[in-house]
Amino acid sequence: EVQLVESGGGLVQPGGSLRLSCAASGFTFSNYWMHWVRQAPGKGLVWVSRIKGDASSTTYADSVKGRFTISRDNAKNTLYLQMNSLRAEDTAVYYCARDPDQYSGGIWYSQFDYWGQGNLVTVSS
Amino acid sequence: DIQMTQSPSSLSASVGDRVTITCRASQRITSHLNWYQQKPGKAPELLISPTSTLQSGVPSRLSGSGSGTDFTLTISSLQPEDSATYYCQQSYSTPYTFGQGTKLEIK
């Protein structure tokens, strides 16, 4: 059974740092792209970042570029999001998600087929 | 960035009704369109990807269609458990943007 279990959220002051973790099980972690998606209270879903299975490629939303760092430890089957210089507008539930990047008809398709339970990050003084 | 616009933002319908949610991309995304369902306090769940392929376990009363810039999610006969917020998402290019969501309520 595929499971993604997040940890590391909480309350942090503006300008502070926090590291989220996402422990994966039930699949070969290193074969999958992984993503972080966030959702501010009462708002919609916003894609944050992604990392390739072998960690050779990362991409970020402009809103977090230079402040957040996505990484992974394939030996520990764990995804991370290091968040620095946090702002009030970073307050959200953060989800990790698996991306099988399926190949069909000569085209690669990205999709988020399994999600973690979500982890609330609150940035406030 | 590609903007995704869903309509309506909310709707209320009765059990057994046919419901359609529309998603429009600000530029062509071929068939790189996913649909998710989210219930309150829960993580989103993948329903359809890409465009019209139902994920395992998703009831056949749901269907997706479209290509290019215009896409639809249709529920042929609404059931009480379909009460949720639905999001479209483009996976054509990063940043992988979502629509603003459609909140579906059962009358």
Do A95 and B94 lie within an 8 Å CB cutoff?
Answer: no
Q: Taking the C-alpha atoms of B11, B14, B19 and B21 in order, what is their torsion angle to the nearest 10 degrees? A: 20
Q: Using the beta-carbon criterion (under 8 Å), do A95 and B95 form an inter-chain contact? A: no
Residue A53 has pLDDT above 90, yes or no: yes
* Gap between the Cα atoms of B6 and B56, Å rounded: 24
**Mean pLDDT calculated for residue range A82-111:** 94
**How does pLDDT run across B22-74, given as a tens digit for each residue?**
999 999 999 999 999 999 999 999 999 999 999 999 999 999 999 999 999 99
Could you tell me which residues are beta bridge partners of residue A94? Answer: A38, A119
Task: Please spell the DSSP secondary structure of A13-33, one letter per residue.
Answer: -TT--EEEEEEEESS-GGGSE
Q: Is the pLDDT of residue A104 over 90?
A: no
Computed over every residue of chain B, the mean pLDDT equals: 97
Q: Does B57 touch chain A (CB under 8 A)?
A: no
Size of interface A-B (CB pairs under 8 A): 59
Whether A102 has a pLDDT exceeding 90, the answer reads no
Contact B93/A at CB under 8 A: no
Omega into B95 within 30° of 0, i.e. cis? yes
Answer yes or no: is pLDDT of A101 > 90. no
**Cβ-Cβ contacts under 8 Å, A58 against chain B:** none
**Confidence band for A103, pLDDT divided at 50, 70 and 90:** confident
Q: pLDDT category, A80, cuts 50, 70, 90?
A: very high
Q: Do B98 and A44 touch (CB under 8 A)?
A: yes
**B46 → closest Cβ in A45, A46, A112:** A112
* Residues in B touching A37 (Cβ below 8 Å): 44
